[in-house]
Amino acid sequence: MHNLIKAVVNSNENTLLREFLHQLRQQKRTYWLRNDIIVFFEQFCQEQKQEGKLSPTGQSTVQIEKILQVIQEIILESESYCIVIRPKIAQEEFYRLTNALEVEAISVQEILAIRDRYVNRHHPADGKIFEIDFRPFYDYSPLIRDSKNIGNGVQYLNRFLSSKLFQDPQQWLSELYKFLSLHNYNGTQLLINERIQNQAQLSNQIKEAIAFVESRPGTEPYPEFRFPLQSLGFEPGWGNTAARVQESLELLDALLDSPDHQILEALLSRIPMIFRLVLVSCHGWFGQEGVLGRPDTGGQVVYVLDQAKSLEQQLLEDITLAGLDVLKIAPQVIILSRLIPQSDGTRCDERLEKVYGTENVFILRVPFRSNGHSTDYWISRFEIWPYLETFAIDAEKELWSVLNGRPDLIVGNYTDGNLIAFLLARKLKVTQCNVAHALEKSKYLFSNLYWQDLESQYHFSLQFTADLIAMNAANFIVSSTYQEITGMPDSVGQYESYKHFTMPDLYHVVDGIELFSPKFNVVPPGVNESYFFPYSNYQDRTMGDRQRLEELLFTLDDPSQVYGRLDNPEKRPLFSMARLDRIKNLTGLVEIFAQSDSLQAQCNLILVAGKLRLEESEDPEERSEIEKMYALIDQYQLQGKIRWLGVRLSKGDTGEVYRVIGDRRGIFVQPALFEAFGLTILEAMISGLPTFATRFGGPLEIIQDGENGFLINPTQTKETGDRLAKFVQQCDQDPDLWSKLSQAAMARVYSTYTWKIHTTKLLSLSRIYGFWNFVSQEEREDMLRYIEALFYLLYKPRANQLLAAQHSL
């Protein structure tokens, strides 16, 4: 890339480049991001053409345009331009270009110092700034070479492990033997017993065992030949029938004779090692009723509840297939959350709550404590950091009590849950999985640079530090999409944004995460098919619910729940459902609708969006959006064309609402400025609604534009309105078009986004990374001690400061 810059500097385009850089300086702006740079360059070229300095075809800008396609930032200093280039996904390079067009590479440390100076936080040459660098700690780990394979870490790890088995069979077979021999359930030995003393004996006994089960009918139940197999050294866990046991033993035999990554994955995926799971979602308002849509919950509660139910079903299936019914094993799934004594009429003050429709899934709530006393009220996710360490200590005792043992896997959710997962996994020595859902650093532009200005409201110094700790400590990380990790060619991923950044006056992150680590895996969530299913499945719908919700959506006159009457309720509905916050951008959808006469003529806009009145909300961002919503309705005189429902719907009602919209051949619009994944998109698509969703974030991977939905840029108001209006007009002219998109949307979800697919993959990952954790435990110890140092030197002192400030109020 350095050569490409020099090529521009030495080409006949250098005069134009010099003029462009000069024009950048005239804008009285010193920090330029990619999109702004490209827009300004286009304007600049138009002006140059008008002045006759550039040919109408723009042929003399070819080299400059190549550079602009990979530039992420330009920071203007007094005598130079500091350029951040992203030549490939997950890679950055830094250069200084002087006014005289001299170019040199600069280091990460230099670019971080330049960013500090930009916000007037300059550190002198002999000044002290704490540096965080995780790069050396990934030397123990295999690394993916091709960025296209990021997010498929388990496949790479399997190849690595199988190659190790091949290169050094004695050591790795010894490790495999130890791994198989340590498995037990409540003291009952599984897989192999003391009759097999070492890996050589294991290899011999396998062949005898295979010959034994091969001689029996394939469908013969395991209990009928359990004891003869036990005499050969093999305990329960290999299968529930003779054929299944034979398959499992043959996989192990093949792995010992000729290591192969596919065989390794198939074998490890069968090993019964997960019986007790903990899913951490701790920042409060976690329940089955009366909490969905409250601040800090919403989609995460839906995700975790559905995941927990599906995990139990998959574990029950796996236990049966492994032949462990003979031991009467019952898997346990615990959702660890926060107990809130002042629970506002919800069940969030109950210590233990059974999850509906499950055998052994419970919500375990543990209070937040400070100075020995429980906190009674809900606390925003931005304020909870001082309570997490004590919460983890208390939660460990509670988990031992409920599970009668330690968990086999801990899955964190969101930053706070991931930090607790780290603290628990470190203490209990179990496998840790992280799920981010969304990383706040990506949602708030320049949030790290201006953290001091935002600290009183968001406490990003704690959140970003917690992210660094948890994501590096995790044995594996599950993301919903590829771009959540490394973005796209023209945008930086959420995890990628932690690679290099500065928190001025606090620390510099020289290398915050290894994006090529095989710990990253894309495992998208599913849809709860009990609640969300096609509108055309009339046999599964209740007529009373359908009529009640149809009235609520279109005609009910109840100011406590609904704002706005429809002049013509029969028009095609444009529908959206989300929290009222800036990122979800429902007010942006109102503007799109308001600025399209065609849409207003053909459609009604129906919104299900939290609160209706300012006095009902304690969230500043929600209150701001409420005010903006009313202002837009008045400004564009949308009365009679819009319905705004300020209701909290149950999951059953939510599913039926989508279907009622489908009955009227409506359209779902998700206009978020950024969406980490987009569960509502899946819910709408499986219900049969043609869906328009933001192109910023996860929807880019869910929707294949024009095939099973449409991608929009919600910041381009007119363009989005025109695209919606065009589709509506085409549907009016050709009713089959709506049905075609409806069918394609449903097919997309059923093929890729079910909880069965998700949990099968998650449990397979847990077993494979459990094995990797076992064989590499000592090599991880240096990193874990470094992480603990960051926790006690950076995180905990700031958390204590926040707690003291809270108590002084």
Strand-pairing partners, residue 477, are 434, 520
Q: Which residues contact 440 (CB under 8 A, 6 or more apart)?
A: 415, 447, 458, 460, 463, 464
Strand-pairing partners, residue 705, are 709
Tokens of 39: 């827009």
Q: Is pLDDT of 636 > 90?
A: yes
DSSP assignment of 588-630, as one string?
A: HHHHHHHT-HHHHHHEEEEEE-S-SSGGG---HHHHHHHHHHH
With beta carbons less than 8 A apart as the criterion, state whether 518 and 142 touch.
yes
Confidence of residue 809 (pLDDT cuts 50, 70, 90): low
Query: What would the mean pLDDT of 463-491 be, rounded to a whole number?
Result: 93
What pLDDT, on a 0 to 100 scale, did the predictor assign at position 257?
84
DSSP assignment of 116-129, as one string?
A: HHHTT----TT---
> pLDDT, tens digit, for every residue of 333-391?
999 999 999 999 899 999 999 999 999 999 999 999 988 888 999 999 999 999 999 99
Question: How long is the chain?
Answer: 809
The better pLDDT of the pair 488, 312 is held by 312
Cα-based torsion angle of the residue sequence 473, 478, 479, 483 in order, rounded to the nearest 10 degrees: 70
Task: Tell me what the pLDDT averaged over the chain comes to.
Answer: 92
The better pLDDT of the pair 13, 112 is held by 112
What pLDDT, on a 0 to 100 scale, did the predictor assign at position 324?
96
What pLDDT, on a 0 to 100 scale, did the predictor assign at position 4?
76
> pLDDT, tens digit, for every residue of 229-259?
999 999 999 999 999 999 999 999 998 888 8
Q: Is pLDDT of 695 > 70?
A: yes
What pLDDT, on a 0 to 100 scale, did the predictor assign at position 53?
76
Distance separating alpha carbons of residues 554 and 563, to the nearest angstrom: 11
With beta carbons less than 8 A apart as the criterion, state whether 699 and 670 touch.
yes
> pLDDT, tens digit, for every residue of 714-766?
999 999 999 999 999 999 999 899 999 999 999 999 999 999 999 999 999 99
What is residue 221's three-state secondary structure? strand
Residue with tokens 């200005």: 453
CB atoms within 10 A of CB 518: 26
In order of their start, the domains of the chain are: 2-106 (3.10.450.330), 169-182+192-234+238-258 (1.20.120.1230), 276-526+766-808 (3.40.50.2000), 538-753 (3.40.50.2000)
What is residue 56's three-state secondary structure? coil
> pLDDT, tens digit, for every residue of 76-110?
998 999 999 999 889 999 999 998 889 999 999 99
Most confident of 125-139, 172-186, 421-435: 421-435
Query: What would the mean pLDDT of 152-168 be, rounded to a whole number?
Result: 87
Distance separating alpha carbons of residues 471 and 495, to the nearest angstrom: 9
Q: Is pLDDT of 66 > 70?
A: yes
Q: Which ranges of 51-186 does DSSP label H, i.e. alpha helix?
A: 62-68, 108-118, 153-167, 169-181
Q: Which residues contact 659 (CB under 8 A, 6 or more apart)?
A: 533, 534, 535, 541, 546, 687, 688
Residue with tokens 């709530």: 365
Query: What would the mean pLDDT of 300-306 be, rounded to a whole number?
Result: 89
With beta carbons less than 8 A apart as the criterion, state whether 687 and 651 touch.
no
Confidence of residue 58 (pLDDT cuts 50, 70, 90): low
Tokens of 480: 């919903």
Q: What is the pTM of this model?
A: 0.88
Amino acid making up residue 158: N
Confidence of residue 416 (pLDDT cuts 50, 70, 90): very high
What pLDDT, on a 0 to 100 scale, did the predictor assign at position 105?
94
Q: Is pLDDT of 59 > 70?
A: no
With beta carbons less than 8 A apart as the criterion, state whether 755 and 525 touch.
yes
Confidence of residue 193 (pLDDT cuts 50, 70, 90): very high
Phi first, then psi: give them for residue 775, nearest 5 degrees.
-80, -15
What pLDDT, on a 0 to 100 scale, did the predictor assign at position 169?
81
Confidence of residue 123 (pLDDT cuts 50, 70, 90): low
With beta carbons less than 8 A apart as the criterion, state whether 83 and 114 touch.
no
Q: Is pLDDT of 778 > 90?
A: no
Distance separating alpha carbons of residues 263 and 159, to the nearest angstrom: 10
Confidence of residue 698 (pLDDT cuts 50, 70, 90): confident
What pLDDT, on a 0 to 100 scale, did the predictor assign at position 555?
94
Cα 610 to the chain's mean position, in Å? 23
